[in-house]
Structure 1
Amino acid sequence: MDKNKLGIESLQAGKYEDAIKYFSEAIDENPKDPVAYINFGNVLTAVGENDRAINFYNKAIELDEKASSAYYCLGNLFFNLSQFSEAAGQFEKAIRFGLQTNDVYYMLGMCFVHLDNVRLAIPYLQRSVELEEEDVEARFQYGLALAKCEIYEEATKQFQEVIKKDSNHADAYYNLGVAYLGVYDKPELAFEYFTKALDIQPDHMLAGYGLKMIEKMKDPE
């Protein structure tokens, strides 16, 4: 049986020593195949050996400079280390060399969110949603980015779509409440959305604050 496949199965099962054994054998059998190096890097990432993982991903890139999966894995590693500029560079290379998944666009968009360049994040988050319309988190983050850039009508559409797909998404209800209170001046609707957010998540402090604001508007004294 293919050693890479056996290694992936072991990795998914959390059997890291077995995974390392299989990927090591795959490298020994075919030392010029970048896939085994990428897989080995994934095991090392899973056990927190980040420096060694980077070396294996870079080895895969040495063997194939268009190894988009290696760039994607490097991007995830840097992202998890909060090195967002480095992560963005790797995700961009993954896309340039042919990786066209909603995940890579989502991660690139989130890099720019963390780098406080939300406007630049928008097209990548939008593309992520286009590629996987059922990805609720990508759609929610897309809506947040739109709202932060004051593109309120489209943001509201995205939050509405989120609650259609996930009726228990408290943060989407909260953000709809914010929009209807602060943008559309419809406190009655905002009240409903804030209440729904609190029904789902009773400790949602921001939704509770939103309700208090509406109560003060009704009774200024």
Structure 2
Amino acid sequence: MDIRFDGRVVLVSGGAQGIGRAIAAEFRDAGACVHLADIDPAVIETAATLGAHGHVVDLSKRAASAALVNDIIAREGRIDILALAAGGVCGETSLPLDGITEENWSRIFGANLESVLWLVQAAAPLMQQAGWGRIVVVSSGAGLRPSLTGLHAYTAAKHAVVGLTKQLSVGLARYGITANSVAPGLIRSNPTTERQWQSYGEDEQGRLVDSLHTRRLGKAQDVAAAVIFFASEQANWITGQVLSVDGGRS
């Protein structure tokens, strides 16, 4: 299957590293014009390395997300695909129930859920006018079951991301816009996930790998391949779906 995006403009959130970076590289290789957005200033260097455009933005803020989309539209005249990989645990580890605060709860929801909502809200009108658009959200296995991170906010936010994606599909499909989600298992693709992996210890690491049908952890490129498919013309009658990319978790 030859998947190309020549002439398409793609915004990849969470593009500074890890899964977002891998997604951006795949779109670039398939001919798309790629814009990367991240709160991490390293996104500028990543974008330069990939031959893409980098933007340092706090996507949890509605005004900032709207300004980013408007900037891309002013520069490119269009925005066709949102590949939304921003999120994560925001520096939290092993946070117990009584350790949840308004601040750390809101920070995780902002990064994982609100970053999706505000970007889609800003980009959808132009996609509707064009009669074509793709929204692909990277959620997590934590959006389908309890999270290996043990973080209540992260699990709740990823479940909300899955629900939001399905609801977006209901309202946007009539305009030729699909909305789907890719739910990865543990991917050792950035310092945070590497710390999570190392915290398990050798025995727990072994049990986790043994629970996967493939008997191996995935790579960022495995997730990127699923995102690319959902964004393609070949997937134009697939919407409101969640695809687990987790090696077959038992």
Q: Is the shorter-chain TM-score for this pair beyond 0.5, marking a shared fold?
A: no
User: Which one has a larger percent strand, Structure 1 or Structure 2?
Assistant: 2
Structure of larger gyration radius: 1
* Structure with higher RCO (Cα < 8 A, 6+ apart): 2
User: Which one has a larger percent helix, Structure 1 or Structure 2?
Assistant: 1
* TM-score, length basis structure 1: 0.28
* TM-score, length basis structure 2: 0.26
